A and B are shown apart, each in its own frame.
Chain A
Amino acid sequence: MKIKDIQEEIVDEFSMFDDWMERYEYIIELGKKLPMIKEEFKTENNLIKGCQSKVWLQGEKKDDTIVFTADSDAILTKGIIAILIRTFSNQSAKDILDADMDFIDKIGLKEHLSPTRANGLVSMIKNIKMYALAFNTQN
């Protein structure tokens, strides 16, 4: 599935919720299903700066795509990463670099996009794109 289609699917899912509580409950549920990073990758190097909670993100090349795994010690943060991983994992570096981020706003998480918010969503996106950039230059 293309990134754009996955984003639309996520927007559809979130449109079913009436209020923030249902949205957050869903994010918590997604967090519990996050593809877990291997313990060996929970290194200082893979730690994303700019979060109040700890976030580890690992990207690995698989054929022409990048596979992301992650973890966090905060469940809401895990849920947000799960949304990002569902969108960007198993995609090509070029597609990741070209993707836009409007869907975050559409699913009602706009406030988390603020660079001043210490949850590091902006840093997570940046790190995902950095992986893509690195793998793209290798090709």
Chain B
Amino acid sequence: MLDINKIRADFPILSQKVNGKPLVYFDNGATSQKPQVVIDAISKYYQEINANIHRGVHTLSQLATDAYEISRGKLQNHINAKFAHEVLFTSGTTHGINLVANGFASILKPGDEVLVSALEHHSNIVPWQMLCEKTGATLRVIPMNEDGELIMSEYDKLLSDKTKIVTVNHISNALGTVNPIKYMIDKAHEVGAAILIDGAQAVPHLKPDVQELDCDFYVFSGHKMCGPTGTGILYGKEVWLNKLPPYQGGGEMIKEVTFEKTTYAELPHKFEAGTPNIAGGIVLGTAVDYMNEVGFENIQQQEKELLEHATSRLLEIEGLKIFGTAKEKTSVVSFNIEGIHPYDIGTIIDKLGIAVRTGHHCTQPIMTFFCIPGTIRASFAFYNTKEEIDIMVEAIKKAQLMLS
């Protein structure tokens, strides 16, 4: 069991007032808040060990390099990767996806197929569309049902020896659906296709085991799991990372450079050109330590209770419809109220101190599927409370009264 008061005290921003009201932060799907240990670790880095990494022989550079590589090791343990060099630091999920999609340009041929799911965020659609345009490959879409669940029988039918890569999120950002990724990974491998899992919305709630999953790529962002913005991880199986060409050229990623030819560095440096977000990378390790200290079982227990409470309280509201009613879902409730635009509700409850996301959540195809302009999305983290949900429900009722 979580001591919720103790947890909340770890996050200084939560005691803030917004528009004169206590902040109720339900936009965790967009980014999580940061605990004091993470905030402190950022200044500690700049105050004590700031230096460029993997370059200097001087002491500070060594300290910074060690801290960066220790953090890589923490992330490796966290996702149970076989090797540290399979764990690449990125600027976030989008960066990781683009790196892989770009690499596949040298692999795909006209007639090959890329499978994406109907539940994807734009950042897991557009890079693959660009890849298909470049290579002449075809993008095909795994459809979903009215509950916002991917239809596995359709997925099975779409897979063939033409399929070269499948890309799917672990958890949907707009609806909260948890996808059956283990099944999807095994099926993709049966036809010899690679598979990338977008774990951006999963890592705040669970600890993925990439070896057990056997996925070829797993990408996520640090900022959604209590870490700093501009951080992320791309896990790739060694065999794939060796096969893919470098994404960006520059310092750090080379073995030897002459004007005639450059040879590339070993993994992971081959994909880490330029000076990275050193502070961010180090502090991402701090964030992972913090989340593990809180404990993922505790996190899941708290979030499950929040989801149940929110779902039943919200359904009290007349005309309210929840989008995304998958059997397996995380602490996200996406909804609309009949006859009221989500933007209007979002604007009014903001005045009451409540931060939710409104709009299409970068998933326009999902909104098109449901024939809606967008939704109001409340996404909960382990530091949220049932009392906050009650405050939101009352605020929505007030907004509904004003707007109808």
- Quick one: which of A65-88 are within 8 Å of B by CB? 73-77
Q: Is there an interface contact between A75 and B341, defined as CB atoms closer than 8 Å? A: yes
Query: In the complex, what distance in Å separates the CA atom of A112 from the CA atom of B327?
Result: 39
The answer to whether the Cβ of B402 comes within 8 Å of any Cβ in the partner chain is yes
Chain B nearest CB from A12 CB (Å) reads 23
CA distance A119 to B343 in the complex (A): 8
Q: Which of B173-181, B192-200, B206-214, B344-352 contacts A (4 or more CB under 8 A)?
A: B344-352
Q: Are A28 and B402 in contact (CB under 8 A)?
A: yes
Contact residues of B between 202 and 242, Cβ < 8 Å to A:
none
The answer to whether the Cβ of B331 comes within 8 Å of any Cβ in the partner chain is no
Whole-angstrom CA separation of A20 from B18 in the bound complex? 14
Does A14 have its Cβ within 8 Å of any Cβ on chain B?
A: no
Q: Do the beta carbons of A53 and B341 come within 8 Å of each other?
A: yes
Assess whether A100 is interfacial by the CB under 8 Å rule. Answer: no
- Per-residue contact bits, chain B 319-357, to A (CB 8 Å; 1 contact, 0 not): 000000000000000000000111110011001000000
A24 and B348 contacting across the interface, CB-CB below 8 Å: yes
- Given the known interface contacts A20-B351, A24-B348, the answer about A53 and B343 at a Cβ–Cβ threshold of 8 Å is yes
> In the complex, are the beta carbons of A73 and B373 less than 8 A apart?
yes
Residue from A53, A73, A75 in contact with B403 in the complex, judged by beta carbons closer than 8 Å: A75
Contacts of A119 in B (CB 8 A): 343, 347
Assess whether B359 is interfacial by the CB under 8 Å rule: yes
Task: For A79, give the chain B residue with the smallest CB separation.
Answer: B344
Answer whether residue A49 sits at the interface, using C-beta atoms and an 8 A cutoff.
no
Instruction: Say whether, besides A28-B403, A74-B343, A75-B341, A118 and B351 are in contact (CB < 8 Å).
Output: no
Given contacts A28-B402, A73-B373, contact A118 B344 (CB under 8 A): no
On whether the beta carbons of A73 and B402 are closer than 8 Å, the reply is no
Taking CB atoms and an 8 Å cut-off, the chain B residues in 354-404 that contact chain A are 358-359, 373-374, 402-403
* Contact with A118, one of B19, B341, B359, B402 (Cβ below 8 angstroms): B359
CB–CB B344/A75 < 8 A: yes
Closest Cβ of chain A: how far from B174's Cβ, in Å? 15
Docked Cα-Cα span, A50 to B25, in Å, equals 25
Given A24-B348, A77-B343, CB of A52 within 8 Å of CB of B402: no
A54 within 8 A of B: yes
| Residues B402 and A25 in contact, CB atoms below 8 Å apart | yes
- The residue from B340, B348, B374 contacting A52, defined by CB atoms under 8 A apart: B374
Q: Does B341 lie within 8 Å of A74, measured CB to CB? A: yes
Contact A21 B373 (CB under 8 A): no
**Assembled-state Cα–Cα distance A19/B304 (Å):** 37
Taking Cβ atoms with an 8 Å cutoff, the residues of B that contact A are 19, 340-344, 347-348, 351, 358-359, 373-374, 402-403
**What are some 15 contacts across the A-B interface (CB < 8 A)?**
A21-B402, A24-B347, A24-B402, A25-B402, A28-B402, A28-B403, A52-B359, A52-B374, A53-B341, A53-B373, A74-B341, A75-B340, A75-B344, A118-B343, A119-B347
> 4 tightest CB-CB pairs across the interface, nearest first?
A74-B341, A74-B343, A52-B343, A53-B343
